[in-house]
Amino acid sequence: GGDYGLAGATSSGPVRQELALTGRFPITRATVRAFGEFNALNATAALAAAEPAGATLRGDLLADYAGVRRRQA
């Protein structure tokens, strides 16, 4: 359970995945510039923390986040 959740993640390119979000998220899908379950969960947690802090969530918010690149080798 929980207020925010990740229903699943699917690859959408060599270093991107689409997240299916559940719970209190105001969006149902998000693109992340990272692959793997750990990164999907991290991105979900980041979005979950940002939303109640007042951030306006969009599906592409983390799509171009460059900080992950160095860890994808």
Confidence class of residue 71 from pLDDT cuts 50, 70 and 90?
Answer: low
**What pTM was estimated for this model as a whole?**
0.86
pLDDT for the residue numbered 22: 96
37-69 pLDDT, tens per residue? 999 999 999 999 998 899 999 999 999 887 655
Could you tell me which residue, 55 or 73, shows the higher pLDDT?
A: 55
HEC readout, the chain:
CCCEEEEEEEECCCCCEEEEEEECCCCCEEEECCCCHHHHHHHHHHHHHHCCCCCCCCCCCECCCHHHHHHCC
